[in-house]
Structure 1
Amino acid sequence: MLYSAGEVELVKNSTDIVSVVQQYVQLKRAGNSWKGLCPFHKEKTPSFIVFPATGTWKCFGCGAGGDVFEFLKKIKNQEFPEAVEELAEAAGITLKGDGTSGLSAGLSKGLFEIVDEAHRFFRKCFAGPEGSKVRAYLKGRDIDPAESGIGIGYAPGGNALLKHLRSLNYSVSVMGDAGLVITDRGDPYDRFRERLTFPILDRRGRVVSFGARALGDAVPKYLNGPETAIYRKGSFLYGYSTALKAARESGIAILVEGYFDHARLVSAGFSETVATSGTALTKKQAKNLMGMAEKQYICYDGDSAGRKAAVKAAEILLAQGAYPMIVRLPDGMDPDDFVKNRGREAFEELLRSAYDPVSFCVSLIDGKLPEGPERIRLAERLLEVAVSSSNPLVEEDLQKKVEEFTGYSRDALEKKGNEIRSSKERTGYIRKSAGNLGSGDTIVLRVATAGGVYNTEFVDFLRTDDLTTELGVRLLNAFRGQIDRGFSSVVPAEFPDDLSARCADIVWALEGVSPQEIQKLKRDITRKRRELPRLRELQEDLASSDPERKAIALEEFADMKAEDER
């Protein structure tokens, strides 16, 4: 969803940044600003400052900074539209969107409402007489729904949900759009029937769909809701919204596969646990997991399929720049079984003894090095894992482990690793430098956005050739894009992450710039970045043996001199 400049600026101007930040950071007044410990890196002396007058924040320790949208994006790992929507809801502002992208706000709201109503219905059924067999089932598994706090419900049979929603005047069409009712196979009927339900929440804590487990012999045993306009399976981690705070506090995030694995670990006090809901980890989910905490632990089932899936998940995380650890469970056990039978302390010990991805693979063969062709195949597989990393330091660390275990030389492994890398379709981002912004470009862009407000006249004056770095050109184009859409103030949170991160040292660095200073900068740009390069070209033309080329150069040189004298 794209929102208009007017809507975004209305939300921003209606939001007290101090009140928002105080929900996550303990702040103390320091003159006209507020100070606290940065939530984005560990520190003992407060270097995180909030400036109410400009509606901005800045950490002078780690360099992060931005406006209230950028703060929510970072602290809750949200996308920009999600941050706008959350703040709009808190301010009582109804968003319409500009109609250029995504789902209309009205339809989106309707889907959230009907799915939430379904969740309330399932919870009511769970607590009522019809939910007795579900409660008995959970008791048999030694799971207390109250301890897990995940809102387990029960979907009865007999099209009970369909009838309930009809009684509230919801249309069958909307029920189908929300994934609650199947409408394309004759008469409509409930998708979830006689199943225990797990609510799937988005990052704002809104119910968007359900996972469900059959209580009898129905197949499939586990059933997930279909993709809808508000639910994309590959974008959500089950339990994310409730695990985020705990992960930030503990510094770790634990990834499991199933709903009951998640319920067991959360009940045991591992609140930083999330699940893939039985599907393969996606790039989007990996990024969300990395945004939760600095350390990621993969804890999948202790069978062949689970261990293969764990290595695959590790490769996806490596491709995003992470350095995940893999927990090895005893053969045949899953996280639910292990914690139930051996307890919290035993699981904590497993976390402490977790393996890096290469060492985990080695552990599966009990550290025994095969000979001949088997040794070569093993080395190649270990290298595949190592070169999955998009972080050269992580890759080197993993390659050292391959070298230590296999005994092959560094040169041979690097050569083979390069072959694997070139032939393998990379699942992560392409490694490239973040790019530098020269001091000259920094000054130009600071003036263009002084005080967080666009100087449109100065931006119009600028040419992309006036900027000497690729990053500077990208930022200028991003600024122009917002101006073209009607923004008067800069909203960096809307930009791609690499650009918004650089804006902290640009957009609010200057409170204001006088007209005289702007005119001087324009003259400097004209002379140093436009005329001087052209003068060098003209000097080359004047030295040319071509009479026509020399004559044209003389004429242009005279024009430039006359213009300068004026």
Structure 2
Amino acid sequence: MDLLAQVRDISIIQVATDLGYQLQFNRKILCPFHDENTASLVLYPQTNTFHCFGCGKHGDVVSFYADISKQEYRTAMHELAANYLPGYQIGGYKQKGLQKVAPERVRAKKIATPNAGTYVYRSYHSDIYEEFQRICDRQPAHQIGLDAIDYLQSRGFTEKTLRDFRIFVVTDYETVHAHLRNTFSLLDLQESGLYNERGNLIFYRHPIIIPYYRNGRIVFLQARVIGAPADTISRYQFLSGVPVELFNQDILPKLGPRNRVYVTEGAFDCMTLTQLGLHAVSLGSVTMFKREWAKLFRRVEVFFYFDNDDAGKKAAIEFSGTFTQHGISIHTQPRTVPDGYKDVNDYFTNRPKPDFL
């Protein structure tokens, strides 16, 4: 990824708050580009862009910072990189704190969010995901829930494993949909990735929900159909437009030096190895790997355990190079699923006899 692309991925919410702007409900701030008493500039964290409905000013995070700090676009790009990209340093640009610009603009009163707290983008999305989980867990027993449990147990998971990973099920779509729409604004639900542009909860055909945690908070969601899907439906559904997280990443800070960690493709593969007493995390898919994740593994020894297909083998080679560049110990012979099995979960659930890792 080139420098501009990396900088454009820097959270515009973070930049705005670091500059001293108080976010109001629905991510509005007083526009820095024209005089106003009612906030009309909206920040869009999914695309890291902004638009002012008062003066029409719009652009990406770089132009937002460039115009506020009265710098050229290229200069602003380097300055944002120096502040937000770890280890970045070039020419006369060096790490420094962003200066608060136009403090007279930072006079808007706080407006309560649905949770009556200060708005913070990432934690507020976690509030939405956790409320989604809470309302699903409170639903009465239903055949969909029973079918989901039967299916998960057929994949080899015990009740304890499902409880430990806090898997939950959408058993009454309409009730859950109505509750979320009454609790949060549609814009917030869409920004969280739970709702599509038509205003509908995206997990309509995928009732099994797999939560991804970071520091004990839900930061991402993945959903699955019950059993084998129809030809026109995918097995899995991820949040719409929200960057994927590393599944089960909270185990990494707890491990001692040289502990072995298996990196799998799917969340179910990770859960299977964990149930066997091993340490494992999941990428969600080999196509979703982020290079910055490598630094999370500096204290452990990494074993890739991907599917036995071309994509899995290619990913093991590619990722080994990335991890090695970060000084991380990689086992030279990644494990692969034996022929005749789809993935790690399929193998350990249906293998004819015990196998030792």
TM-score between the two structures when normalised by the length of structure 1:
0.39
CA distance in 1, matches of 2:211, 2:219: 8
Separation in structure 2 between the aligned mates of residue 243 and residue 129 of structure 1, nearest angstrom: 37
Conservation of the 8 A alpha-carbon contact between 1:125 and 1:154: no
Structure 2 gaps of 5+ residues are 1-13, 19-82, 85-97, 102-116
1: CA distance, partners of 2:173 / 2:346 = 34
Residue of structure 1 equivalent to 2:293: 285
Q: In the TM superposition, what whole-angstrom CA distance separates every residue of 1:426-457 from its partner, at most 9, and x where no partner exists? A: xxxxxxxxxxxxxxxxxxxxxxxxxxxxxxxx
Equivalent residues of 1:145, 1:152 under 8 A apart: no
Asked if the contact 2:161/2:275 (under 8 Å) is kept, the reply is yes
Displacement of 1:317 = 1.5
Whether 2:184 is the aligned partner of 1:178: answer no
Q: How many Å apart are 1:135 and its aligned residue?
A: 0.7
Which residue of structure 1 aligns with residue 280 of structure 2? 273
Alignment match, 1:240? 249
SS in 2 for 1:347: coil
Contact 1:295–1:324 (CA under 8 A) maintained in structure 2: yes
- In the TM superposition, what whole-angstrom CA distance separates every residue of 1:329-354 from its partner, at most 9, and x where no partner exists? 32243211232245996232xxxxxx
| Corresponding residue for residue 326 of structure 2 | 320
Is 2:311 the counterpart of 1:309? no
Q: Name the counterpart of 1:141.
A: 155
Correspondence for 1:198: 210
1:121 aligns with 2:135: yes
Residues 285 and 177 (structure 1), Cα distance of their counterparts in 2 relative to 1, 3 Å cut? same
1:213 and 1:341 mapped to 2: Cα distance?
A: 20
* Runs ≥4 residues deviating over 6 A: 97-100
Tell me, in whole angstroms, the C-alpha distance in 2 between the residues paired with 1:164 and 1:226. 20
Report Cα offsets for 1:44-89 as digits up to 9, x if no partner.
xxxxxxxxxxxxxxxxxxxxxxxxxxxxxxxxxxxx99xxxxxxxx
- Is residue 240–residue 274 contact of structure 1 (8 Å, CA) maintained in 2? yes
Q: Distance in 2 between matches of 1:320 and 1:119?
A: 36
Structure 2 counterpart of 1:337: 346
Residue pairs, 1:120-519, within 5 angstroms:
120-125=134-139, 129-148=143-162, 149-156=164-171, 158-167=173-182, 169-182=183-196, 184-185=197-198, 188-195=199-206, 196-202=208-214, 204-215=215-226, 216-217=229-230, 219-228=233-242, 232-233=243-244, 236-245=245-254, 247-248=255-256, 251-270=259-278, 272-280=279-287, 281-288=289-296, 290-291=297-298, 293-325=299-331, 326-333=334-341, 334-342=343-351, 346-348=355-357
Distance 1:127 1:156, change over 3 A: closer
Q: Counterpart of 1:199 in 2: which secondary structure?
A: strand
Which amino acid in structure 1 is aligned with residue 264 of structure 2?
V
**1:469 alignment partner in structure 2:** none
Whole-Å separation in 2 of the counterparts to 1:344 and 1:171:
52
Change (3 A) 1:118 1:249: farther
Could you tell me how far apart the structure 2 residues matched to 1:324 and 1:242 are?
Answer: 18
TM-aligned CA deviation for residue 172 of structure 1: 1.5
Q: What letter corresponds to residue 181 of structure 2 in structure 1? A: R
What is the one-letter code of the residue matched to 1:300? F
SS at 2:273 equivalent: helix
Cα contact 2:258–2:300 (8 A) shared by 1: no
State the partner residue of 2:27: none
Distance 1:213 1:283 in 2: 26
Distance change in 2, residues 1:130/1:335 (3 Å)? closer
**Greater C-alpha radius of gyration:** 1
- How many residue pairs get matched? 243
Give the whole-Å Cα distance in 2 for the aligned partners of 1:150 and 1:99.
Answer: 42
**Residues 125 and 210 of structure 1, relative CA distance in 2, 3 Å threshold:** farther
Residue 327 of structure 1 deviates from its aligned partner by 1.5
Deviation string, structure 1 residues 359-410 (Cα, Å, up to 9, x no partner): xxxxxxxxxxxxxxxxxxxxxxxxxxxxxxxxxxxxxxxxxxxxxxxxxxxx
- Mapped to 2, the partners of 1:237 and 1:321 lie a distance apart of 20
**Secondary structure of 1:181 counterpart:** coil
RMSD, aligned CA = 3.3
Letter in structure 2 aligned against 1:273: A
Cα gap change, 1:330/1:225 in structure 2, threshold over 3 Å: closer, same or farther?
same
For the 8 Å contact 1:252–1:296, the answer to whether it is kept is yes
- Structure 1 pair 107–172 and aligned structure 2 pair: CA distance change class (3 A): same
What SS does structure 1 have at the residue aligned with 2:209?
strand
Secondary structure class of the residue paired with 2:124 = helix
The amino acid of 1:224's aligned partner reads F
| Aligned residues of 1:257 and 1:275 also touching (Cα < 8 A) | yes
Match of 1:393 in 2: none
Do 2:265 and 2:285's aligned partners in 1 also have CA atoms closer than 8 Å?
yes
Distance 1:130 1:122 in 2: 12
The answer to which structure has the higher strand fraction is 2
The CA deviation string for residues 531-565 of structure 1, in whole angstroms up to 9 with x for no partner, is xxxxxxxxxxxxxxxxxxxxxxxxxxxxxxxxxxx
- Render the CA deviation track for 1:280-333: whole Å, top value 9, x for unaligned: 322112222x23x33111000123332222222222222323231212332243
Q: CA deviation at 1:268?
A: 1.3
Matches within 5 A, 1:57-76: none
